[in-house]
Structure 1
């Protein structure tokens, strides 16, 4: 299936806060307003693919290419000291939206949970940086 009308990434009218920041022929980088994980977003294939293992070779290459562009964009905008980049695949691994999406999360040395892995800081309000 290449389009799912009930998918927040296929049908962008479902989640209007979601903003398309960058794209290429195969993928889009979306961001939502964030209070804690400033600059974070997801790279998704334009075609509906349930998980990363369904990506075509062209979508893999498009993801890689867009990831480099996203990093350059976020480096210029936020100057992070590191990144977490990850896919959650299937329910057992924490996937909740079943359209493949690569999380791109800038990390900063002044975060209260700096140096911790993904499970330690996602959704944790205590990790909010001072404004």
Structure 2
């Protein structure tokens, strides 16, 4: 993808308007134009990466540091007693802009945002086969 094709790259370059609330050497944070709750923001790396499969762990950590800073700022500035962080990688995970980003969503009440899934507990022993399948992929140092 070219930088011009990516709306987040255009925002970073200053070619697209945004309401930026934080910038540092590695990331930029701006208000989401689709405010789920008051202050809903996006934190994006300055360098284009499509999703988790493309961003390095170090760059992801830099984005997360910025997300922590932004969440504290939103909590203090807006009086939000809670924050949700949300990330989606891939179309099947509801990613709609294919530039790695983290949503920082201030929460004001228990009902101002609906959970995307409901929790169903599985007996721990029933997860043993799944855990072994995941552990068998040794791509981590």
Normalising by the residue count of structure 2, what TM-score does the alignment of the two structures yield? 0.70
- Give the direction of change, closer, same or farther, for the CA distance of 1:60–1:81 in structure 2 (3 Å limit): same
Q: Which has the larger radius of gyration?
A: 2
- Give the direction of change, closer, same or farther, for the CA distance of 1:27–1:116 in structure 2 (3 Å limit): same
Give the CA deviation at 1:107. 0.6
More helix by percentage: 2
CA–CA distance in 2 between the matches of 1:64 and 1:100?
Answer: 11
- Between stretches 19-28 and 33-42, larger displacement belongs to 33-42
Alignment length (residue pairs) = 116
- RMSD, aligned CA: 2.5
Normalising by the residue count of structure 1, what TM-score does the alignment of the two structures yield? 0.75
- Give the direction of change, closer, same or farther, for the CA distance of 1:103–1:4 in structure 2 (3 Å limit): same
Give the CA deviation at 1:14. 6.1
Structure 1 runs not aligned, ≥5 long: 121-131
2:5 corresponding residue in structure 1: 6
Runs (4+) of structure 1 moved beyond 6 Å? none
2:87 corresponding residue in structure 1: 87
Give the CA deviation at 1:32. 3.6
1:50 corresponding residue in structure 2: 50
